[in-house]
Structure 1
Amino acid sequence: MVADIMGEVNGLIEGQAKLFGSLSEQIWSYAELSFAEQKSMDLLIKTFEKKGFSIERGLAGLKTSFIASFGSGKPVIAILGEYDALAGLSQKKNSTIHDPVTPNGSGHGCGHNLLGVGSLAAAFAVKDYLVQHHLAGTVRFYGCPAEERGNGKAYMAREGCFEDIDAAFSWHPGSINVVQQSSSNAVIEARFSFDGVSAHAAALPELGRSALDAIELMNVGVNYLREHMPDKARVHYAVTNTGGSSPNVVQSHAEELYLVRSPKPNDVRTLFERVVNVARGAALMTETKMSYKIEGGCHNLIPNTALHQVMLGYMKKIGFPEISGKDLDFVRAIYHSLGENEKKYALSHLDPGQRAAVSEKPIEDWIMPLPEKDVFMEGSTDVSDVSWNVPTAQCMTATWAFGTVPHTWQVVAQGTHPYALNAALFAGKAIACTAIQTMTDSELLTKAKQEFKERLSGQAYDCLIPEDIKPPEK
């Protein structure tokens, strides 16, 4: 069964590789930011329509979200796709030096052009397999906007978009090949605003009440808070509005954006309230008024060992794609462009044999084993909110040179290379094979659902984004 599925899926995806490469490159060139991925969404929808999928747009108030569906009845399998880019990461393709296309422009610094198309390839393969074998069941591609900022999947989960799904699958570009048997930090994103009174800073400073002072005092207070929060928790911020550029004016308005992370939803709620209390204290000290608005949030990730074991098996059998000599030269050049700290950090995670391998060929072409226990990821992902609603499995494949750091120009530069596309299709094949086996093997699906239930231990999903908060309109 495994060999038959793998052989068919490989042929189905390789037969359309040129189409997938073209789609990925077009989305790379659009490089649209969160909530504004209109061109990318339209391109994907048009491609799904040509393939015979039905389309539902605008889920959960997200203008750039959609579902492409094919088939009927149970089981219903979801494949998640993303296509948003990052601000400030414009970069020319195929360049081994930092060289923006547009200064301060956007770029796919997390590889979501590859992510969306790799997932699309998986959905196409599952659809074709169902047709060829006259099988019941439904495959859905979820077009998920705003992963980089805004947590689009959390809005979709809050509105029940995943409630009738039997299993969900995703992947992410990276520099290793691994199933993501990991948990993660839950996160709340909020904007804090302070309003005071402007005044002439020299002539009448006593009449002023500085919002900028409040911002600074809040940040100092949060820095003191760090000693008294859980080890795995994280709090970070960016001042987004200083209130002006004149030092001779007491700034009457200032804003900053905070990300508060902790391993569990209740933990992050508690820590967030402590951060709010610090902000209240800063407002009291400066006699300003403080307000805040939650702008995003997502849960911790719940992995599924049953599905990951199957996915890992397919990854090993399919094998990481070979890299051509020309592509390997580019991989080496990208690796050499990395800083010494980045190289040292990446090498510290390898054994001596692996270090020797990447010194000759700086890309991880091996498949990592399933860890004995769940790995913890300090970052956050809105795939987590899906994983709280349905058994979810995902993998990572080496679309980037060894040691490449996410959210950098090096990621953007590699985004259209053949080896990056091949690694994306490698992920697509693993997802498609695992999805097909899940749809045709009732014991596997039952086992995955039982594990999902046990991991939740009676906890119910409660979105971290309040009901009254709507997605921003771009």
Structure 2
Amino acid sequence: MKEYIKRYLEENKDYFSEVSSYIFRHPETRFEEYESAAYLAGECEKQGFRVERNVAGIETAFTAAYGSGKPVIGFLGEFDALSGLSQKPGTTHYEPLKNNAGHGCGHNLLGTGAFAAACAVKSFLEENNLAGTVVFFGCPGEEGGSGKTFMVREGVFDNVDAALTWHPSPANAVMSRPTLANYQVFFRFKGTAAHAANSPHLGRSALDAVELMNVGVNYLREHIVDDARLHYAVTDSGGISPNVVQSNAEVLYLVRAARVQEAEEILERVKDIAKGAALMTGTKLTVEFDKACSNYIPNRSLEKILHHQLTEYGADAATKEEEVFAEAIWETYTKEEQSFYVELMRGFGYIGDGSEFAGKYISDCISPYEASSELFHGSTDVSDVSWVVPTAQLTTATSVLGTPLHTWQMTAQGLSSIANKGMLRAAGSMALTGISLLTSEADLNEVREEFQAFAKSNPYQCPIPQNVEPSKLNGQKI
């Protein structure tokens, strides 16, 4: 099985590299991934998958299925980019391109790796005339859009027996930590314009309301649980004229906590602060729900299978050219960033003290597996899938040690040989895991039993209300 998957991926490595390159060179932000989604869906059709577009009412969401009957194994692929992270690939200095967006989280690799895994499993099923269904899920809008949460709400994953995905990083490990749930909400204030010098008493400043709200929320930080996080961005300051009392202003809040119920409770307190800011300034407040996602529920039985297959697939040593490039990237980090690299990798499931990397800049080993309950202080819409389907995630080394996500350095490495090798390592490990579930009833039953035991006492409730629709980066509903 391993030899077949390795041979398949080796024979098709140039093809998958081209797929990743296309997505990289057409970076598009949340729910606007028109070219990437159309391209990936088209490639799925060329590979013999049955493609359904506009899934869950989202233009850039799709499914691609092959086979029939049970079990149904899903691979989750993302392909959205981040605003402001444009960067010329292969460079070791900051050099943005004309377009604003860039793959600073490696989703060109993520989507292609999941696609490659689905293709490899399809090929194995065909070669061996086996029953079962493999589905590649084209999932848009992970970056601030919670695309999968909307898809879960609409029942897209209801018939899936297990879901697998991965994320690029500097480590080779199973991502075993639970994540933070979050809510993202717009607070819009409406005041009264006036001449700021001639008649300021006639004005009611919406910008003052935003500032007072932010001050109030800063005082709230002391009185929430330690693992909670509160972030905000002023998305409309009311204009650029200081001699005008700003009649409109808007702030976007992202509230995170270890469990979705905690995040919801904190959000209600943030709303009260916003109401108080409106009262203090004589302005009117409108609250608009943007998106949310749940906390991640690891399936330990599935993680053990995934880790076994990652170890079986193995990791190659870096070439001399890759190490030279990696060292040049490493030197772009501050001393603080360099000293943080082990902690950064631990967030992705790495177990160790970093001693095995002495004199190296690229991980060439597989981390041991540990079913950690320690929080990863980030959020993902994979979490909502994990509430309705047994789910596991891994990470593979597609970037230099110490590379933080959402940086120009991550974008710069997105088409490197390091990235491509890590992508195929992830694809192979997920494919082997998928085949194990398709061919071993005992493995699948163990995964199911663990999930059913959790689901029995933890019914899923989508954190996004039914009347809320996905929105593009600029807030336009789709």
CA distance in 1, matches of 2:358, 2:352: 10
Per-residue deviation, 1:382:
0.1
Q: C-alpha deviations, 1:422-460, integer Å up to 9, x for none?
A: 100100000000011011111111111111122345221
Q: Residue type matched to 1:313 in 2?
A: H
Q: C-alpha deviations, 1:65-122, integer Å up to 9, x for none?
A: 100000000001110000000000110111100001127x110000000001111110
CA distance in 2, matches of 1:233, 1:320: 36
1:342 aligns with 2:337: yes
Q: Residue type matched to 1:58 in 2?
A: N
Q: Residue type matched to 1:119 in 2?
A: A
Question: Which of 157, 160, 164 matches 1:165?
Answer: 160
The match for 1:358 is 357
1:21 aligns with 2:30: no
The 10-residue stretch of structure 1 (441-450 or 351-360) with the greater mean CA deviation from structure 2? 351-360
SS in 2 for 1:149: helix
Question: Which of 109, 124, 148 matches 1:153?
Answer: 148
SS in 1 for 2:143: coil
Question: Which of 37, 55, 75 matches 1:79?
Answer: 75
CA distance in 2, matches of 1:394, 1:246: 49
8 A Cα contact 1:181 1:371, kept in partner? yes
8 A Cα contact 1:154 1:465, kept in partner? yes
Per-residue deviation, 1:357:
4.3
The match for 1:426 is 425
> What are the equivalent positions in structure 2 for 1:15-54 lying under 5 Å apart?
15-54=11-50
Question: Which of 226, 237, 241 matches 2:236?
Answer: 241
8 A Cα contact 2:300 2:371, kept in partner? no
Q: C-alpha deviations, 1:373-427, integer Å up to 9, x for none?
A: 3231111000001000010011011100000010000001000011211100100
Question: Which of 101, 126, 133 matches 2:97?
Answer: 101
> What are the equivalent positions in structure 2 for 1:439-454 lying under 5 Å apart?
439-454=438-453
The match for 1:415 is 414
8 A Cα contact 1:321 1:423, kept in partner? no
> What are the equivalent positions in structure 2 for 1:19-418 lying under 5 Å apart?
19-102=15-98, 105-347=100-342, 355-418=354-417
8 A Cα contact 1:109 1:411, kept in partner? yes
SS in 2 for 1:30: coil
Per-residue deviation, 1:268:
1.1
CA distance in 1, matches of 2:399, 2:323: 11
CA distance in 2, matches of 1:77, 1:150: 24
CA distance in 1, matches of 2:194, 2:433: 64
8 A Cα contact 1:169 1:393, kept in partner? yes
What number of residue pairs does the alignment pair up?
Answer: 469
8 A Cα contact 2:56 2:151, kept in partner? yes
CA distance in 2, matches of 1:133, 1:55: 23
CA distance in 2, matches of 1:355, 1:168: 30
Per-residue deviation, 1:353:
9.0
Indicate the RMSD between aligned Cα atoms, in angstroms.
Answer: 1.6
Q: C-alpha deviations, 1:177-216, integer Å up to 9, x for none?
A: 1111111110001111000001111111111110000000
CA distance in 2, matches of 1:130, 1:356: 41
The match for 1:435 is 434
Per-residue deviation, 1:31:
0.8
Q: C-alpha deviations, 1:135-163, integer Å up to 9, x for none?
A: 11100000000001210000000001111
CA distance in 1, matches of 2:379, 2:371: 22
CA distance in 2, matches of 1:126, 1:352: 29
